[in-house]
Structure 1
C-alpha cells in the first residue's frame, strides 16, 4: 500500500500540487487522471522520488519514504517497477539485455539466472523468443510490452506506469491495459497509472483519482464515474460524443 499525505509541490512561484492525500491499494489498478497541467505526472514523480515534495509525505507500507536519505531509499527503490511513456528502452541493447538491465544493477544473480528471469518475463508479456531483437525492430506495442517485462523483472511490489497507451492504436491499447491489470492482480502489485485514455479509465479503473488545478477533485471507481455530478470530472471524461453516448447507455 502507498499513502500520500498532504503533498504539495512548487516550482518557483508555480504551485503544481496543492495538498493531495490519497491511498493506493495493492492488487488494484490505481489511476491518476486529469487535464494537461493538472499535476498528475508531477504527483507520480513525487511518489517515486524523482521530485521531492515541497511539503507532505509519501509512505510505502508504513515506511516514510520522504524522510529517507538516498541509501535508506534503496531497498524500496529495488521494489519499484517503472514503465515510462516512451518505454525508455536502450537502443543499443537487445530485448533480453534491456530486461536484464535492472537485474545487473540490483542483484547478484548468475548470468543463467538472469536469462531465465528475462525469458519468464518475455513469456508473461507474450514475447517469447524475441530476446535478440533490438528496439528498432519492434512495433510500438511490442516496445511497451518489453518495457513492462523490464518493469516486472525485479518482481516489484509497486508498479508505476506513465501514459502506457500513448501512441498506440485502440486494439493494442486494450491489450496493454489487460496485461497491466492481469499482472497487478496476479502478483498483488500496488499499481499506479497516469493516463488520459478514457478507455483505460472505464476498462481497468478500480480506483481513480481525478486531479484538477493541482488538487484532488474526485476519487472513486470506474463504476461510480457515470453516476457522479462532479462537473469538472464529467467535462473531462465525457468530452467526446462517443463517451457521452457511452454514459447515456449506462
Structure 2
C-alpha cells in the first residue's frame, strides 16, 4: 500500500498541491483525475521522487520515502514500475533491449535469466516474438504494451502510469486499460494511473481520486461517480465527455 499524507508542493508563488492525503491499495487500480493544473501529475511525481514535497509524507508499506536520501530509496525504486505518457522507448534499441534496460541496471541476473523474463513479459502483453523489432516498426498501441512490459520486467510491487491512453485510438485504449487492470489484479500490484480519459474512468476505475485546484475534491468508485452531487466533478465529467465527443467527429 502507498499512503500519501498531507502533501504540499509549490513552484515559486504557485501552490500546486494543498494538503493531499490518499491511500493506494494492492490489487486496486486507482485513477487520479482532474483538469489541467489540478495537480494530478505533480502528485504522481512527488510520489515517485521526481519532485520533493514541501511538506507531508509518502509511505510505501509503512516506509517513509520522503525522509530517505537517494541511496536509501534504491530498494523502493527497484519495486516501482513506470509507464510514461509517450512510452519513452529508446528508438535506437530493439524491443528486447528496451525491456532489458532496467534488468541490466538493477539486477545481477544472467543473460539467460534476463531473456527468460523478457520473453515472459512480452507474452503477457501479447507481443511474443517481437523481440527484434524497433520502436519505429510498432504501432502506438504496441509501443504502450512494450512500455508496460518494461514497467513490469522487475516484477514491481507498485506501478505508475501517466496518461497511458494518450494518442491511442479507442480500441487500443480499451486494450491498454484492460491490460493494466488485469496485471494489477493478477500480481496484486498497487497501481496509480493519471488520466483524463472518461472511458478509462468508467472501465477500470476501481478507486478514483478527483483533484481540483490542488485539493482532493472527491473520492469514490466508477459506480459512484455517476450519482455524485459534487458540482466540480460533474462539470469535469461533462466537459471531458463533450470534448471526447467533439474529437471523434
Instruction: Describe the SS at the equivalent of 1:130.
Output: coil
Q: Which residue of the partner structure matches residue 92 of structure 1?
A: 92
Q: Which residue of the partner structure matches residue 77 of structure 1?
A: 77
Deviation (angstroms), 1:238: 2.4
Instruction: Describe the SS at the equivalent of 2:174.
Output: helix
Q: Aligned partners of 1:146, 1:66: CA distance in 2, in Å?
A: 30
Q: Which residue of the partner structure matches residue 208 of structure 2?
A: 208
Q: Point out where structure 1 has 5 or more consecutive residues left out of the alignment.
A: 245-250
Q: Which residue of the partner structure matches residue 222 of structure 2?
A: 222
Instruction: Describe the SS at the equivalent of 1:181.
Output: helix
Q: Which residue of the partner structure matches residue 54 of structure 2?
A: 54
Q: Aligned partners of 1:241, 1:169: CA distance in 2, in Å?
A: 17
Q: Which residue of the partner structure matches residue 11 of structure 1?
A: 11
Q: Which residue of the partner structure matches residue 131 of structure 1?
A: 131
Q: Which residue of the partner structure matches residue 198 of structure 1?
A: 198
Q: Is this contact kept in 2: 1:99–1:150, CA < 8 A?
A: yes
Task: List aligned pairs for 1:156-167, cutoff 5 A.
Answer: 156-167=156-167
Q: Aligned partners of 2:242, 2:107: CA distance in 1, in Å?
A: 50
Deviation (angstroms), 1:237: 1.1
* 1:216-241 C-alpha deviation (Å, 9 max, x unpaired): 00000001001100000011112235
Q: Structure 1 residues 214 and 109, CA, compared in 2 at 3 Å: closer, same or farther? A: same
Q: Aligned partners of 1:172, 1:89: CA distance in 2, in Å?
A: 18
* 1:92-114 C-alpha deviation (Å, 9 max, x unpaired): 10000000000000000000110
Q: Is this contact kept in 2: 1:28–1:191, CA < 8 A?
A: yes
Q: Is this contact kept in 2: 1:29–1:191, CA < 8 A?
A: yes
RMSD (Å), alpha carbons:
1.2
Q: Aligned partners of 2:121, 2:87: CA distance in 1, in Å?
A: 16
Q: Aligned partners of 1:170, 1:235: CA distance in 2, in Å?
A: 23
Query: Is 1:114 matched with 2:120?
Result: no
Q: Is this contact kept in 2: 1:29–1:190, CA < 8 A?
A: yes
Q: Structure 1 residues 243 and 129, CA, compared in 2 at 3 Å: closer, same or farther? A: closer
Instruction: Describe the SS at the equivalent of 2:176.
Output: helix
Q: Point out where structure 2 has 5 or more consecutive residues left out of the alignment.
A: none
Number of residues paired by the alignment?
Answer: 244
Instruction: Describe the SS at the equivalent of 1:166.
Output: coil
Instruction: Describe the SS at the equivalent of 2:224.
Output: helix
Normalising by structure 2, report the TM-score: 0.96
Query: Is 1:24 matched with 2:24?
Result: yes
Q: Aligned partners of 2:2, 2:42: CA distance in 1, in Å?
A: 16
Q: Aligned partners of 1:8, 1:61: CA distance in 2, in Å?
A: 21
Deviation (angstroms), 1:243: 8.9
Q: Is this contact kept in 2: 1:237–1:243, CA < 8 A?
A: no
* 1:172-220 C-alpha deviation (Å, 9 max, x unpaired): 0000000000000000000000000000000000010000000000000
Deviation (angstroms), 1:79: 0.2
